[in-house]
Structure formats: structure tokens, C-alpha cells
């Protein structure tokens, strides 16, 4: 590090600018915290129709990173005795249910935090802006079918976190957003974290874009309904996310020494609770946990309508990275920037995963139609020696009245290792898929993008 040109941060910024241009992403902000140093930068513009330069403090929707904030609020309530991980949902909400009675009776705070409830998780509706918006959403969960028995497997669940927000309101008698502000945001000094558009309209913020080929366009709607607050509504900037990550690296202490979360709560959130992929990936309490190069990395991503974000930290290296961008291809950008940052700041070289076509028998086993009720389905077929997926979207986001996203062109699924596949090309490149088996070795579920899909026969 003898000159600025050799500094890892300078290299990362140059790389990020290059990636934005190559991927036709209008704007992004990134940040690194390592040891006692913090670096942030902005690139590109906030809005192609009404452009302003992206600054480090520009606000982006962080999407599902919000779930980790909700998890932290739950841990605070556990510390004060208002909840326990073993608290059953029906202890606070006796009328609550999903379609499966066993899941309805057995569901606990732990199941919700670990995405192991087993019911359909992508349920996007608008229950209004009133004080009972979360309660109304919880009542509508009676429509949700099981995709797996409760506790059987990890399957990403947005609905579970809306339900957690409802439990926060029932346990405290206050709106979820107020509890989050009082117990977490204000103690951390995170004035630049917002739940709704009204509080940020006077600030510099990004809007979502859809990237198609070498062009991008602004897309609507911008915000999420109020019931989406606990699962994905936070709007924040790179410095705010790094402040939050530093608190977690410091076992619950804010920069002024105030203990925002008990150290035991932070450790519990970062402790594997249920496996995602063998012994390398697990779900903690709201956070995802991954073992890489002998280190433990804690992370969560987020995606809204044309925006995305990534937050990751490594306790063993006192390291954190934040990536925020205003395009529906942010996931690919974040993976590229993450890989470069781990190499330059930590000396960890992530190997290129060797994609390879599947053998004939595994292809035939996987062929089928895989349904995500209310959202759409993917048909997987073997064609010309390759496994090809074709998604059909039937549901919209962020509400059921939002028109579905355009269907992606067919894409290739290739093998990374036994029972682990990845989308190898196109806009969804990098999406992980897992074949989950029963004790006899027979394929039981197909999990794609973290969600268990229900299998139907091809017609």
C-alpha cells in the first residue's frame, strides 16, 4: 500500500465503475469497513429519467436486509422477556393459521426467524396503510399452503417476517416501525434509515430500473405497502449499513459504547440454526452463514422492484462490505464486487465454480414443472443434452395487483457438485438450486433461489 493506486479501496472503486458500465446499471454505492477504517463511494446516477449523481450517502431500498433488523428487534424483545424463541405464534395470536393445521399449531418465533415454517413464503399483498396492516396480512396467511412440513427444511419465507412484525406489535402494543426505531435505529444513530417515502422525499434517493440488454429503464411502483415493513421496506445508505454491521462485529456495542444488543443475542444470530447446504451454508437467526477459506461470513441480500443490496461481515477479520444499486441485476454486481473485495482486502481468492452439464440420469430425475403458488412456475426439461429452465411469472411484486415481471428467456442449468446446480447464463446467472433428498436417496424437493418449489408433472 505505498501509493493510492495500489490501495485495495482504489482498486475496488475502479473495478466497481467498470462493472457498472459493463452491466448497464445506472448507479451504485459501496462501502468497506475493516479494522478501524471505513470507505464509501458512489457511482453513476440515481434515476435515468431525472439523474442526480449517486453519493456515498444516497439512499437505496435495501430490501430483505430489513429482515435482519427485524431479527435484531425480536432479540431485544427476548432480552426484555416479552418473547422467547420458543414462543408459539398462537400464544400471542390465537386465531392465526396457515392452511396446514400442524404448522399453525407448532409455529414458533424460532421457525419464523430461520425460514423453516414450511408454508409458501412469497405472498405479496397490500393491506393498507392503517395501524392494523400487519394484523390484516397475518389473517390473510390462512390462504398459504405448505411446501414442506414445518421444521423440515430451509425455504426462504417473506411472510414469516411480516408475521414477526405483527408479533412485535402484539407484544409491545406499538407500531412495528416505532419499536424498530426506539430499540435499534435511534440507539445506533441511524437517522438515515427509513420505512416509508414520506420521510425521505426531501433527500437524495435511488429509483429502480430494469436492465434489458444494453439499456435500462425506470420501473414502477417504487415503494412497498406498509405490511412489507418487517420483510423489506428499509431505505438506507452505505454508511448506515456499515454502522449496523460494526455494531454486530462489536457484539452489540454502538460506536459510543452503548450496548444496543446483548453479546449473547448477537452470537445467537450468528450461530447456525438449520442447514442450507451441507456443512458450508446455514441459516442463523435471520442471517445467512457461510464458511469460506477457514472464516465465517455472515450475510444477507435484498431485492425490491429494480433495486438491490448486499451486506456481509466477517467477525474473524473485523471486515464488512455493503453494496447497493438501482437495477434488477444488482445480485450479479454484488457477487462480482464481493469477490474482488475479498481478494484485495482479505487475500481470499474465491475459486471460479466449475459449471458442467449434468449426466442423463440426473437430468431426467430433475425434469418437471416446479410451482411457487401465487408467483409462477419454472419448467425444467432436457434438450439437446442440456437442462433448460423456463420461468413463467403469474404474480406481481410488491402487490398482487402489480403486473408480473416479463418472463426471462430460457436458461441453462448446470452442475456445480452433486445435487447442487446453478443458472449458468442470462439475467438469472448465479441463482443457486438444490436437490433435496429423503432418507432413501429419492429426490424430495427442488429448491431454487432459496425457495422450495412444489413439483408437478410435465404435460
Per-residue pLDDT tens over the stretch 343-401:
999 999 988 877 888 888 888 999 999 999 888 999 999 998 899 999 999 988 888 88
- Portions of the chain given CATH number 3.40.710.10: 1-351
* Residue 352, pLDDT score: 81
Low-confidence ranges of the chain (pLDDT < 70): 1-5, 457-459
Helix, strand or coil, per DSSP, at residue 273: coil
Catalogue the long-range contacts made by 243-252 (C-beta closer than 8 Å, 24 or more residues apart).
243/188, 243/189, 243/190, 244/69, 244/188, 244/190, 244/311, 245/33, 245/311, 245/313, 245/320, 245/322, 246/33, 246/320, 247/188, 248/298, 248/313, 249/33, 249/313, 249/315, 249/318, 249/320
Structural contact between residues 375 and 125, judged by C-beta atoms closer than 8 angstroms: no
* Residue 3, pLDDT score: 44
Alpha-helical (H) ranges within 274-388 are 330-346, 360-366
Give me the CATH code for the 1-351 domain, please.
3.40.710.10
What number of other Cβ atoms are within 10 A of residue 405's Cβ? 17
Per-residue pLDDT tens over the stretch 20-42:
999 999 999 999 999 999 999 99
What number of other Cβ atoms are within 10 A of residue 128's Cβ? 12
* Residue 5, pLDDT score: 55
- Portions of the chain given CATH number 2.40.128.50: 360-456
Helix, strand or coil, per DSSP, at residue 172: helix
Structural contact between residues 378 and 453, judged by C-beta atoms closer than 8 angstroms: yes
- Which residues, including other chains, have CB under 8 Å from residue 166's CB and lie 6 or more apart? 93, 134, 135, 137, 138, 176, 230
Do the strands 368-372 and 27-34 form a parallel or antiparallel pair, or are they unpaired? unpaired
Nearest 5°: CA angle at 359, between 282 and 368? Answer: 70
Catalogue the long-range contacts made by 380-387 (C-beta closer than 8 Å, 24 or more residues apart).
380/413, 380/446, 381/458, 385/357, 386/357, 386/412, 387/357, 387/358, 387/363, 387/412, 387/413, 387/414, 387/421
Structural contact between residues 286 and 184, judged by C-beta atoms closer than 8 angstroms: no
Q: Any idea of the CA torsion for 177, 178, 183, 186, to the nearest 10 degrees?
A: 100
Q: Give the integer Cα–Cα distance in Å for 453 and 434.
A: 11
* Residue 1, pLDDT score: 37
Task: Please name the fold of domain 360-456.
Answer: Lipocalin (2.40.128)
Q: Give the integer Cα–Cα distance in Å for 448 and 430.
A: 11
Q: Give the integer Cα–Cα distance in Å for 409 and 390.
A: 7
Counting Cβ atoms within 10 Å, is residue 35 exposed (0-12), middle (13-18) or buried (19+)?
A: exposed
Helix, strand or coil, per DSSP, at residue 308: strand
Q: Give the integer Cα–Cα distance in Å for 106 and 117.
A: 9
Helix, strand or coil, per DSSP, at residue 396: coil
Whether the bond between 103 and the residue before it is cis, its omega within 30 degrees of 0, is no
What number of other Cβ atoms are within 10 A of residue 64's Cβ? 21
Helices 158-172/66-79 angle, 10° precision: 40
* Residue 400, pLDDT score: 85
* Residue 226, pLDDT score: 96
This model's pTM is above 0.75: yes
Amino acid at each position: 500500500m505505498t501509493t493510492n493506486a495500489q490501495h485495495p479501496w482504489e482498486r475496488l472503486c475502479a473495478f466497481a465503475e467498470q462493472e457498472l458500465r459493463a452491466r448497464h446499471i445506472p448507479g451504485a454505492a459501496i462501502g468497506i469497513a475493516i479494522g478501524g477504517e471505513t470507505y464509501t463511494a458512489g457511482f453513476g446516477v440515481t434515476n435515468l429519467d431525472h439523474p442526480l449523481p449517486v453519493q456515498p450517502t444516497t439512499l437505496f431500498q435495501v430490501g430483505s436486509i430489513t429482515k435482519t433488523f427485524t431479527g435484531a428487534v425480536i432479540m431485544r424483545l427476548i432480552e426484555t422477556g416479552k418473547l422467547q424463541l420458543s414462543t408459539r405464534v398462537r400464544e400471542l395470536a390465537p386465531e392465526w393459521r396457515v392452511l396446514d393445521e400442524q404448522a399453525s399449531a407448532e409455529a414458533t418465533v424460532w421457525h419464523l426467524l430461520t425460514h423453516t415454517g414450511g408454508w409458501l413464503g412469497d405472498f405479496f399483498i397490500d393491506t393498507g396503510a392503517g395501524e392494523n396492516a400487519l394484523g390484516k396480512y397475518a389473517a390473510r396467511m390462512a390462504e398459504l399452503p405448505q411446501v414442506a412440513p414445518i421444521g423440515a427444511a430451509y425455504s426462504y419465507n417473506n411472510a414469516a417476517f411480516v408475521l414477526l412484525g405483527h408479533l412485535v406489535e402484539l407484544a409491545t402494543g406499538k407500531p412495528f416501525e416505532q419499536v424498530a426505531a426506539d430499540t435499534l435505529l435511534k440507539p445506533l444513530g441511524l437517522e438515515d434509515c427509513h420505512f416509508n417515502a414520506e420521510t425521505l422525499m426531501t433527500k437524495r434517493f435511488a429509483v429502480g430500473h430494469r436492465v434489458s440488454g444494453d439499456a435500462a429503464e425506470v420501473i414502477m411502483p417504487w415503494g412497498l405497502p406498509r405490511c412489507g415493513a418487517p420483510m423489506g421496506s428499509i431505505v438506507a445508505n452505505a454508511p448506515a449499513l456499515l454502522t449496523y454491521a460494526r455494531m454486530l462485529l462489536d457484539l452489540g456495542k454502538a460506536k459510543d459504547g452503548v450496548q444496543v444488543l446483548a453479546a449473547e443475542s448477537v452470537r445467537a444470530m450468528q450461530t447456525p440454526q438449520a442447514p442450507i447446504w451441507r456443512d458450508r451454508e446455514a441459516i442463523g437467526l435471520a442471517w445467512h452463514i457461510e464458511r469460506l477459506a477457514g472464516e465465517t461470513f455472515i450475510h444477507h441480500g435484498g431485492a425490491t422492484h429494480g433495486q438491490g443490496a448486499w451486506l456481509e461481515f466477517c467477525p474473524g477479520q473485523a471486515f464488512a462490505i455493503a453494496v447497493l444499486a438501482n437495477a434488477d441485476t444488482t445480485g450479479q454486481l454484488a457477487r462480482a464486487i464481493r469477490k474482488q473485495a475479498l481478494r484485495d482486502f482479505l487475500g481470499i481468492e474465491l475459486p471460479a465454480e466449475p459449471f458442467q452439464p449434468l449426466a442423463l440420469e440426473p437430468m431426467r430425475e430433475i425434469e418437471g414443472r416446479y410451482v411457487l403458488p401465487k408467483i409462477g412456475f419454472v419448467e425444467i426439461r432436457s434438450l439437446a443434452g442440456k437442462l433448460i429452465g423456463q420461468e413463467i411469472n403469474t404474480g406481481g411484486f410488491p402487490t398482487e395487483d402489480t403486473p408480473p415481471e416479463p418472463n426471462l428467456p430460457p436458461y441453462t442449468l448446470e452442475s456445480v457438485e452433486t445435487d447442487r446446480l446453478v443458472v449458468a447464463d442470462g439475467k438469472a446467472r448465479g441463482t443457486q438450486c438444490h436437490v433435496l433428498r429423503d432418507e432413501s436417496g429419492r429426490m424430495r424437493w427442488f429448491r431454487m433461489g432459496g425457495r422450495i418449489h412444489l413439483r408437478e408433472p410435465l404435460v
